[in-house]
Structure formats: structure tokens, C-alpha cells
Amino acid sequence: MILGKNLYNKSSKILNLFRVLNLIAPKIWKKSFSRFKTKSNGFTGGAPALTLTESGDLRCTSCMLCQNICPSFCIKIETHEHAEEEAAPLNFDINILKCTFCGLCEDACPVDAIRMEGPMPFAGHSEQNWIWDKEYLSSYAGDLKSKVGEDRPLMP
């Protein structure tokens, strides 16, 4: 459809004067559109956090799926020397300055060990440590319990 010709006509000067006054005058009958403003912080969670079993150990089994899938390569995992005896990782580091909070690590984990339910990180001074290790990751979001049943065997 071709746009109507009436949109291309210039209107008279008196009408323009009224329009400018309408711009400047304060609107007394302004409706409040507060129901559409985003609530504080949008969503409460969003930052990665490690979960614990019922007995308080880490649920993570060092399968490295989250390390492979992260698009910024910000997860670094080191395992124990004898992985058959101790499946939990020796070190689990996340460089939080690189994280884009996309949630792919939560989708990839087969044992529900990492979840995006921690509070979003605040601005910080540059002298502080921006690499979060596994003690901080498992404690800063409260104690998150994983949703998998207790009688599930550990992965080799």
C-alpha cells in the first residue's frame, strides 16, 4: 500500500503553535505506566553456583562437559591424580569477568552440579580477586541442594 498523500502536506502555522504549546505544557492527566517497569534487578539469580549433596559434599564429578561448552572458556577444572577414588575436582575456577551468564553450563551438566541461581556480582575494585574458586562457588549462594536422588551412583 502506498502511504497516503495527506501525510506529506505541511500544516498551517497556527496548528504548529498549538502543537509546540502541547509539548511544553505539563501533562496533568499523565497515566502511570508503572506496571510495565522492570522490577528491581529483573531476576534474582543468574550467576553460576555449585550444588551440594545431602551430606554436604560437592555433586560435581569432573566430567568436563561444562568446560567444553563454555563459549568464553572461563571454566578451568583440575582433577585428582586417581580419579577412580575421588571424583570431585581438585580445583574448579571460574573467571567471572569473562562469564556472559548464558546458562549453557547448567544445560550441559548431567548431574545437576552447577546452577545459575547465585546473586549477580556487584562492581568491585580492581585489586580484588576475580577468579572464584570452588569454596566460594559452593557457599556464596546459600547452600544449594541438588535435585538428583541420593542413591544415584557416581560416574566413572
| Site residues, other proteins (CB under 8 A) | 1-3, 6-11, 13, 16, 19-20, 22-23, 33, 36-38, 40-43, 45-46, 65, 68-73, 95-104, 107-108, 110-112, 120-128, 130, 147-149, 152
**Sequence-separated contacts (24+) of 119-128 with Cβ below 8 Å:** 119/44, 119/45, 119/46, 119/47, 120/41, 120/46, 120/47, 121/47, 121/96
CB closer to other proteins, 81 vs 122: 122
Whole-angstrom distance, CA of residue 133 vs CA of residue 136? 6
CB 89 within 8 A of CB 63: no
Whole-angstrom distance, CA of residue 7 vs CA of residue 78? 67
Least separation in angstroms between CB 41 and other proteins: 5
CB closer to other proteins, 56 vs 149: 149
Cell 492527566 belongs to which residue? 29
CB closer to other proteins, 36 vs 85: 36
Least separation in angstroms between CB 76 and other proteins: 14
CB closer to other proteins, 6 vs 55: 6
